[in-house]
Structure 1
Amino acid sequence: MQLQGKRGAEVKVSVNNKEYGTYSLDKNQTVTIGEDDWENILIIKDGKASMEKADCPDKICVNHAAISKKGETIVCLPHKVVVEVVDENGTQDGNQIDIISK
């Protein structure tokens, strides 16, 4: 499904389930995410977002591929950081269809 995903407009960053900020994928920028005792560095460049640095022990988020399509995420579990690609309305899926199975 991700191979045919549509390009997102923004990345929404949440820390501990609280919105930290929303950043355009069209603007190259560096975003510092963190608190007093930890820090993550998010890089947005050429329409893609990637975690450049994290002082967590496992560095899974740093080793994750860059994201740019709606619904893609980068997660740093130790710091409870979630970076998700959304459309201009702030949603992962522009169709907003719920699927219920019986």
Structure 2
Amino acid sequence: MKFKEFVKNSRLRPWDIPIILLLCLLSFLPLVIFGITRQSPATTESKIAVLRINGDEVKRFSLVEGKKSYTYRYENEDGDYNVIEIAGDKVRITEADCGDQVCVRRGWAEKDGDTIVCLPHKLVIEIQDGTGGGDDGLIY
């Protein structure tokens, strides 16, 4: 069956096909709009990793691509510890004395909103976009 026969035998009106095509094209409009407004982060944008213990903010680390890798050791009053590695624009826990080691197996966190959680130590590391809230308390 050819296209003309299909149109002739179906109950399509002359403007139905252009309207259907227009609606199909417009269905991609949200994808285009959100793609433009949320472009991939540039290397100059800053991210921060916020270390919280039991809900209280303890430390902030600036995450800058190309920055030299370093570690930070958090130890609580009971002697429990976590070793946090910051390498450029990503962060991870490399060592912990908790039993389950879920925080160590989590690996690198590098995108805005990523979290690393160590439940036995009540420790949370969250990646945040540093452009929204100023840079008070950032460590460079």
TM-score class normalised by the smaller sequence: 0.7 to 0.9
The CA RMSD measured in Å over matched residues stands at 2.2
- Where does structure 1 lack aligned partners over 5 or more consecutive residues? 91-102
| Change over 3 Å in CA distance of 1:35–1:5 after alignment to 2 | farther
Distance 1:71 1:35, change over 3 A: same
Which one scores higher on RCO, CA 8 angstroms, separation ≥ 6?
1
- Cα deviation digits, residues 29-61 of structure 1 (max 9, x gap): 211112132000010113110100000000000
Structure with bigger helix share is: 2
**1:33 equivalent in structure 2:** 74
Secondary structure of the 2:112 match is coil
The 1:5–1:50 alpha-carbon spacing in structure 2 relative to 1, beyond 3 Å, is: farther
Secondary structure in structure 2 of the residue aligned to 1:62: helix
Higher strand share: 1
SS in structure 2 of the partner of residue 42 of structure 1: strand
The answer for the alignment partner of 1:99 in structure 2 is: none
In structure 2, the residue matched to 1:19 is 57
Matched residue type, 1:76: C
For the residues of structure 2 that align with 1:41 and 1:66, how far apart are their CA atoms?
13
1:71 aligns with 2:113: yes
Give 1:6 shift: 5.8
Q: TM-score, normalised by structure 1?
A: 0.76
Give the ranges of 4+ consecutive aligned residues of structure 1 lying more than 6 Å apart after TM superposition: none
Pairwise CA distance, 1:65: 2.2
What are structure 2's unaligned runs of at least 5 residues?
1-37, 134-140
Percentage of identical aligned residues: 33
Partner Cα distance (2:123, 2:99) in 1: 14
Match of 2:129 in 1: 87
The amino acid that maps onto 2:125 is V
